[in-house]
Structure 1
Amino acid sequence: MGKVKEPLMKPIAVTEKLAVAQQPKLSDFQEFKRQGFTTIVNNRPDGEDPNQLGSAAEEAAAHAAGLGYVHIPVTSTAMTEDDARRLKEAIEQAPGPVVAHCRSGARSFRLWVLSGDLDSHTDAELLAKAAELGIDRSWLAAHRNSSGGDKK
């Protein structure tokens, strides 16, 4: 019997230039490059989980794959306006599509919502993405309104 192939990392598209993903493995960085991403944003603080790669290992893997790397560590209970601004700037400055990750992808999505870059999304689109990531509808409603978006 042959070796069982691990499933490929499938980031969830949020915008044309941003996707979110769960914690990648080292082998995923080459796959991100193959999928057309140009930059990785790591939203996990180092030491959050003993099995995570850590920012130094991720930065090395990203650069080895020819990808840019940005570390904006946040927790679900401590995301600042500055963190959201830094994510928005990382996306704007990247030469192509960005994949932001945390443990599950939800925290990276929440940080993007807080960045206020929601004008091109309807409520239904945002709710569908939030549901896919397991984000509570009431959290999204509260933060969508505070970030400046109000499309129906």
Structure 2
Amino acid sequence: MNFTQVADRFAVAPQLRPEELQAVADAGFDTIICNRPDAEEPGQPPAGTMREAAQAAGLCFHHIPVSGGEFPPSAVAAFAEACERAEGKVLAYCRTGTRSITLHALANTEELSADERIGRAQRAGYDLSSMRGRLGE
């Protein structure tokens, strides 16, 4: 399992496999958010399979799919709610982690400035500078 810690309670990862979810729980996470639509690419485990594996590991699972660089307000709101309701650490994943960290920056549950969110993403290895206009001040 490979993930990048972004904040104390939030990390992102590329595609996870069902057999990795116990290790996610063992690493101290209690919530998983999948940001991939089902069948985005061959071999990708469907959200239902991931949900079952997450629940078996004692994790809360949310499926908030986004694609095509689109981040609709409903997805941002659902992502924010999932993060706010989490009792512990959250691990969000997509194909590379970019959609997940973008949703986290847009949700801005910590009420950080755009520069702080862009800098945090950059330190985690993701360039969100093109999102500055959508991130506000």
TM range (shorter): 0.7 to 0.9
Q: Write 1 or 2 for the structure with the bigger share of helix.
A: 2
Matching of residue 24 in structure 1 with residue 7 in structure 2:
no
Check conservation: 2:12, 2:93, Cα contact below 8 A. Answer: yes
TM-score w.r.t. structure 1 length? 0.79
- RMSD of Structure 2 on Structure 1 (CA): 2.0
1:64-99 deviations in whole A, cap 9, x for unaligned? 111110100111422111100100100111121110
Q: Write 1 or 2 for the structure with the bigger share of strand.
A: 2
Q: Secondary structure at the match of 1:27?
A: helix
What is the correspondence of 1:32-51 to structure 2 with a 5 Å cutoff?
A: 32-51=24-43
Q: Which 5+ residue runs of structure 2 have no aligned equivalent? A: none
2:78 to 63, 80, 86: 86
**Percent identity of equivalent pairs:** 31
Mark the structure with the bigger radius of gyration. 1
Check conservation: 1:130, 1:140, Cα contact below 8 A. Answer: no
Q: Which 5+ residue runs of structure 1 have no aligned equivalent? A: 1-8
Name the structure, 1 or 2, with higher relative contact order (CA <8 Å, separation 6+).
2
- Find the aligned partners of 2:25 and 2:124 in 1 and give their Cα distance: 24
Q: Secondary structure at the match of 2:2?
A: coil
TM-score w.r.t. structure 2 length? 0.87
Q: 1:140 to 1:78 in 2, by over 3 A?
A: closer
Q: 1:136 to 1:89 in 2, by over 3 A?
A: closer
What is the correspondence of 1:66-105 to structure 2 with a 5 Å cutoff?
A: 66-105=58-97
